Structure 1
Amino acid sequence: MTRFLIAAAAATVAFATPAVAKDRVFTHEGVTYAYTATPTADALVLEGKASKGGKFRLVVKGDWVNGYAGGARVSFRAPKREAAGAVLVAQR
């Protein structure tokens, strides 16, 4: 779950620009992810739950993503957008 959640966070980081929290839901390989993306003064907070794997909370600040997914601490460099608009997925 964590690896896929990282990809979802990458997509959110690359394309999220709302000024208020926005509910998001998607399903991948039978697992449904529901979360909010809430911008703060200097970060983007992603909080939610996966139907398998539990809760997650990721804080995107600058070039880094820190938080918890499925009870495990995660930290990784936020992916950058390519010129064509595609997202590079962070690898562990």
Structure 2
Amino acid sequence: MFKTLFAATALLAAASPAFANDAAQRTFTRDGDTYTYTTVNKGKYVVISGRAASGGTFQLQVRGDHITGYSRGVPVSFTIPNAQAKLTKTDIAFR
């Protein structure tokens, strides 16, 4: 359950790379529970912090493909290919 929730959170956050530098709250619903979260780009990693409507909190650090953190006080750790790249804004230079 935790891995599915956070995979959904990471992928949802990845849907809009602009979230990485924006501390505005975002929401999504999964399995009937609504989650509110923010993402902050810390340079070498991205922090996703949030709360479920049911009261549980979570904080994740995304470094490369690896996600670690806590959900409702329980440690979580898993991988998602290119997770950090999906969360950070990429500037493209044209010649």
TM-score normalised to structure 1 length: 0.71
* Amino acid of the structure 2 residue aligned with 1:63: D
CA-atom RMSD in angstroms: 2.2
How far 1:41 moved relative to its partner?
1.0
Unaligned runs of 5+ in 1: 82-92
SS at structure 2 position matched to 1:10? helix
- Counterparts in 2 of 1:3 and 1:55: CA distance versus 1, 3 Å: same
TM-score normalised to structure 2 length: 0.69
SS at structure 1 position matched to 2:25? strand
Larger RCO (CA within 8 A; separation ≥ 6) = 2
Who is 1:11 aligned against?
A: 11
Number of aligned pairs? 81
Greater Cα radius of gyration, structure 1 or 2: 2
* More moved, 60-69 vs 70-79: 70-79
Who is 1:69 aligned against?
A: 71
Matches within 5 A, 1:74-85: 74-80=76-82
SS at structure 2 position matched to 1:41? coil
How far 1:49 moved relative to its partner?
0.4
- Counterparts in 2 of 1:79 and 1:12: CA distance versus 1, 3 Å: farther
